[in-house]
Amino acid sequence: MIDPIHFESLRKERPLEIRCHRCKRLLSHAVHVLDDNVKLDTRSDEPVVPERTIALVSRLLAEVGEFIGVDRDGYIVNRADLVGAQDGGERNGCCGPDGQAGPNVFCPCGHAVGTERGDCYMPHFVSLDSHWIDLCPLEWGVKGPDEK
């Protein structure tokens, strides 16, 4: 498991995978740490980070200010990369979930893993609480408990 303190040192390392902290199920495509020279897209109705990348929440907050319920020590990813996660919880918003009601992305085991923000008036991202997920170096050929 990788904590936010060691996260930035992984930029040139192998890809990472996101797993549920409770059951260890694989929840994502392989993701790479977003390079510092790649600007976050903070326009409304656009993904903040490109697919297959991950960044620290603190980087987003430094650019756009506060978001309700975002773990400062967490991570942000593109929703398209969370292929093993499910929508759930309250998903309020007019054109997509605004994340104001708390966690709305879950592992199939029922454990909350993040909060999607994807309404038309905001930049789109999923914030992953560092206590809800495990961020691990991709181990080629190693599968989780429910993977074939």
pTM recorded for the entire structure: 0.86
The mean of the pLDDT values for the chain is 87
Backbone CA torsion sign across 89, 41, 72, 19:
positive
Model confidence at 138, pLDDT cuts 50, 70, 90, reads: confident
29-82 pLDDT tens trace: 999 999 888 889 999 999 999 999 999 998 888 888 777 778 788 999 999 999
Q: Report the alpha-carbon distance of residue 56 to residue 29 in Å, rounded.
A: 17
Q: Report the alpha-carbon distance of residue 115 to residue 144 in Å, rounded.
A: 23
Q: Where are the domains of the chain?
A: 4-133
Q: Report the alpha-carbon distance of residue 59 to residue 7 in Å, rounded.
A: 12
